Structure 1
Amino acid sequence: MTSNVVVQVTSQGPVGQLTINRPEALNALDVPTLLALEAGLDELERNNEIRVIVVTGAGDKAFVAGGDIGDLDSRQGLAHYQEFAEIVHRVFRRFEDSDKPTIAAVNGWALGGGTELLLATDIRLISAKARLGLPEINLGLFPGAGGTQRLMRQIAPCKAKEMMFTGDQISAEEAVSLGLCNRVVAHEALMDETLALASKIASKSPLVLKLLKRNLRQGQEMPLGAALAHEQAMIGLVLDTADAHEGCRAFLEKRPAQFKGQ
């Protein structure tokens, strides 16, 4: 794997990891960082050996502490729309649309764009030291990297509005209670637990995970009747895979399944 100044790309077996590497700036997102994050995601998605992708932040303080405020203050609306906003929406959507399961290891502050990034991942483990929030209202702004739409779809609207209207931060425990994260993990154990979970998921059929993710993602955007019909068609497609029959046979033969992604 490769690394560059702002995003490190590494792997352990079938698990790929993207580490946003600007600890001196609390891993704040600017255009070069977003483009490096997208390039790293491209690299891991192209690698057929990688089955699960983890994203985290470098250092002990921050996952992503938001956007680069100085850079933001230098922009006018049209330039922002055409450059930063266009890029950040595209990159976060890439995480959301990835056929490989994504896990956020939230190792510290996840504010503004940090919360918006984790909202685009599939699973989120959070350090007991971490805090989440969308503080843009305190700057005379509101979340503009997908936060207003994803947050309203993932937690109760009244809580989403409170977070955005006040700009208050929430603790790791509250993030879990709201359904924003899966579970709180001791800070020093965060990466071990994240990689263990990633490895467990990576042991499943990568082809069936791909079809499952597509079914879930596409079904969310359909009325229930259409989503159920879509599921019916997709499970039929799954039964045309060799992995489905390997899994059934392994169960009947009382042995571990050997999934090959076929």
Structure 2
Amino acid sequence: MSETTNDLILTHVQDAVGVITINRPKTLNALNVETLLALEAALTGFEQDPQVRVIVLTGAGDKAFVAGGDIADLNSRQGLAHYREFAEVIHRVFRRFEVCDKPTIGAINGWALGGGTELLLTLDIRLAAEEAKLGLPEITLGLFPGAGGTQRIIRQVPLCRAKELMFTGDQITAQEAVQIGLINRTVPRAALMDEAMTLARRIAEKSPITLKLLKRTLRDGADMPLSAAIGHEQAMIGLVLDSQDAHEGCSAFLEKRKPQFTGR
């Protein structure tokens, strides 16, 4: 295990899993520009680390994953300054998580409100503590989700439910979030990180190159008509079959042994 910290973001690596912890518990892990830039740097480090195969993201403390943005900061801004100084950063960082070639898992340890829900919408798999609350309450401030949330949520949950969440600003329980497909499942709070790490280790055993190409197939295909997406899939599985890992996996199956994937 290795561990680093820059106060705002904690990172460590264990068993091929890189863990990123947003570390502002006194502000309920609210996102500001400084925190977003530190978060981006942590992600970049794990993307470039060949020892890291899966990334887990969580929040410090037992109250919040990310409780949103800094309201006082938002209140101090006019539109153009916000667009230049904050919106560009948060959109870039969230998109970086969304297009990351390595699988990402959210361990939602508490409130995920506003920017917190928008952030989890960029992650591949989402586990939540049973007590977690989620929502997009921006409308109660005279705002609406502005970090990609309006577009990502309507592509991931039924449109009528997405609209209800955004129009009312209501918080929902983790159990309700499971029902609408916003998160995968709930976990007792005490077991959340163990569950996330167990899942991450299972995924980390798979072929890194195949996971990378699978993620690209899913991501790119989602924006294509079905006929084009099927053709894209056909091309991508052809690339997979050029990898050593594909033949290692098939050989291991035939030889009744566990495959040893190297990412080649």
User: In which range does the TM-score fall when normalised by the shorter chain?
Assistant: over 0.9
Q: CA deviation at 1:83?
A: 1.3
Mapped partners of 1:87, 1:59: distance in 2: 25
1:231 corresponds to: 233
Q: Which amino acid aligns with 1:243?
A: D
Mapped partners of 2:209, 2:137: distance in 1: 39
1:72 corresponds to: 74
Which residue of the other structure, out of 136, 139, 147, is the alignment partner of 1:137? 139
2:95 corresponds to: 93
Moved over 4 A (4+): none
Mapped partners of 2:156, 2:15: distance in 1: 31
SS of equivalent to 1:53: strand
SS of equivalent to 2:77: coil
Q: CA deviation at 1:117?
A: 0.2
1:241 corresponds to: 243
For residues 129-185 of structure 1, the C-alpha deviation after alignment (integer angstroms, 9 at most, x for no partner) is 100000000000000001000000000000000000000000000001110111100
1:24 corresponds to: 26
2:202 corresponds to: 200
State how 1:205-220 maps to structure 2 within 5 Å.
Answer: 205-220=207-222
2:52 corresponds to: 50
State how 1:98-247 maps to structure 2 within 5 Å.
Answer: 98-247=100-249
SS of equivalent to 2:172: strand
Q: CA deviation at 1:9?
A: 1.2
Mapped partners of 2:171, 2:141: distance in 1: 14
Q: CA deviation at 1:5?
A: 1.4
Structure 1 gaps of 5+ residues are none
- How high is the TM-score relative to the length of structure 1? 0.99
Mapped partners of 1:91, 1:111: distance in 2: 17
Q: Which amino acid aligns with 1:259?
A: F
Structure 2 gaps of 5+ residues are none
